[in-house]
Structure 1
Amino acid sequence: MKILIQNGHVIDPPTGKDGIFDVLIVEDKIVKVERRIEDRADRVIDAGGCYVMPGFIDLHVHLRDPGLTHKETLETGGKAAVKGGITTMCAMPNTKPVIDDGEKVAEVHARAAKESPAHVIQIGAVTKGQLGRELADIEGMAKAGCHAISEDGKSVMNASIYRRGMKKAKECGISVFAHCEDITMVEGGVMNADGNATRLGLKGITNSVEDVIVARDILLAKETGARLHLCHCSTADSVEMIRLAKEDGLPVTGEVCPHHFILTADDIPADDGNYKMNPPLRGRADVEALREGLKNGIMDVISTDHAPHSAEEKNRSMAEAAFGIVGLETSAALTYTELVEPGILTMTDMAEKMSTNPARILGLLDKGSVSEGKTADIVIFDTRQEYTIDKDTFVSKGKNTPFHGRKVRGTVRYTLADGAVVYENEIH
């Protein structure tokens, strides 16, 4: 199968391409990226007026499968991903059962290859059952292709066990993805600890709940040499600590989610469970620090922390609702609208933070680039039309988003995975 993408504006951070090029795909590989390609093809896609970028790679997704499939499945999550231009996603292990051995990782990978149009990399737990008492089968999960371990949804509070997990991850050549939260300091909080919590009569979560674990994990990474990726950073001090870690030459990276670089606690209009997420929406100074961190390269990645829940679990008071927000279908449009259009990021920056850097962190040498020899995971992205986010059009089972009704620009027209068109939304 040959596919020729014509007239698109190719954005490719690794090669520096930023202009109008044609892209020829043969089977699952990109074979040519040139100003004009005359080769015949089985299918020609006119990408005129659109950007052609490497398929997005989301390092932080909750697919809820196995065991919580009323919230999401490999199939529905995969379809939501490709609708959002995401061709590879990392599934967190806090499922039922918890993904804590090589056999479970292999099972998810085998199922995902059949059920999901997007590539799924199953991340393994740090401890058995995520109970924080005994290390999981890290070696077995690494051999099964997990690429990273994470206790996501919680931190491993026992620093000695966590240190041993980091050492094992380093031995196995995989990364550690850290959810930074000192659970002993949450104290029943459900949103940021500021005047808005007082206004709504809710308990707050201070910035230090995140910051103390960020500091601890960076120090443990320094001691063990483990590759540390800090998930869903939400505070100004997290950005500063990552900056210092990089100055110290440590293998530390950080991600920011769209809800954290867009919304503040001031944007919570009422006691609405759709605004409840972990970590919570912070203050204006934190948002500005996150944006500046993305702009200056301290923060490496934009991920979603896609966390679908049923309407019953979210349509209640923040005191009772589940933590989480969906994002697979909105992250690209929100990033473009809130960061690229205002000039905070360039289109190359966007591609770098949503594809190239995630590929590098995972060690996926064949992804994250629109260049010859790479796997043909590609998104064709159209920024011309303004529209309103409508949760009722989501493919995901989860509709829990505070961005319903928000105006954005940026529509995925085509998503290709392994050289096959897995999503298309043509202009009519």
Structure 2
Amino acid sequence: MLQILPATAEDVPRLVEIGHSAFAGNALDRAVFGDVDPQVHREHSIKRQTKMLEKGEMFFLKAVVAGEIVGVAIWAPPKKEEDKAKEKKEEEANKEKEWPPGTNVELATEMFMHDAGIKEPHYYLCFLSVDPKYQRNKAGSTLLRWGCKKADQEGVAVHLDSTKVGMPVYERAGFEPFGPPHVSKIDPQHALYPMRRAPLSIQPATLTDLPALAPIHRLAFFPGAITQYCFRDVSPSNFDAWFVKRFAGVLEKRDKGEKVEVLVGKRGDKAVALVYYGLELELEKREKDDTPRQFPEGANVEQAMDILGQMDAHIKKIPFAHCSWHIISVHPDAQGTGVGWKMMQAVLEAGKAAGLPVTLEATEEGRPMYQLAGFKDFAEVIVANDDDSVKLWPMIVEHSKA
């Protein structure tokens, strides 16, 4: 089992070993440190990283598998402008001491201590390395997600400098190029590529968002048991067309004043998630809605009417006023980064603002997340007639009263 834990001073020798091993074949690393005695380099790195860790200004993380440290990441949290200026002054004063004897100090300073021109609050990935023997066990991506999740929780960007080879990995995690490459003037064969992951913004969806939200919903839901039970034979194009038509109707209701909302989570201009919920009155005050469900071409209508019909019947019979949370969808590339949690908080805040409990119907896959957020079962489990492994759990969370 992979664990991400805070590193300690006792871990530093192993962290240094991993870093030196992982970057041994890197051309820039060889150009900067190629003339440094390996033992001197190791001792200098241990001393430097121990000092950095003990200052407590950065997050030193280790990835651990079966008790063995297999990866390391160093994250710098957002800094105040006065702290940045102080740090830069200290770096200039200690520039020569920063590197072990034999280092190409001019190239090291040019490439590793340049001013990236970042003006916004941000997390910065200073270092990420995985033992070459473990580079396909998700240690690197999990260490990366740790910082991305922190940034999303705080609503700030993430910055890093990548090699050309590493850029596709970061692009899959939502990073984009940030300005031109930083090319060495001393030796132009060396370059680093500044990248930025925009902070997550959550806003009401518009009609123009729907074509981008449709594949997010499909990719998020199609592996699930409910979707396979109902829509296994639906083509992607038919599913997306159905989604756009359905949610165009929801947005029309919202714009006419009905208490429904579709929120889109965006990173920059790119949609990565959505939630859909509505505020419902007490049963006796609710307007009756017998509009039949529409399904995409290719759907197993009988099975869809079975499980979704049972769900609709349950929702319509809830006697008390509530915030009915219908959907959360997060693009697979953004899952595990805190996006889902932020989208969930938006729904919980809507329920709290209205003074209403939030209800939902959880799949087996999603239920643990909702339990962590405080949701509890509150009605009989909904079970498909043709497959008793296909289930939905009615759940509720009540807001604590001040």
Answer yes or no: same fold by TM over 0.5.
no
Pick 1 or 2: higher relative contact order, CA cutoff 8 A, min separation 6: 1
Higher Cα Rg, which structure:
2
TM-score after normalising by structure 1: 0.25
Choose between structure 1 and 2: higher helix proportion: 2
TM-score after normalising by structure 2: 0.26
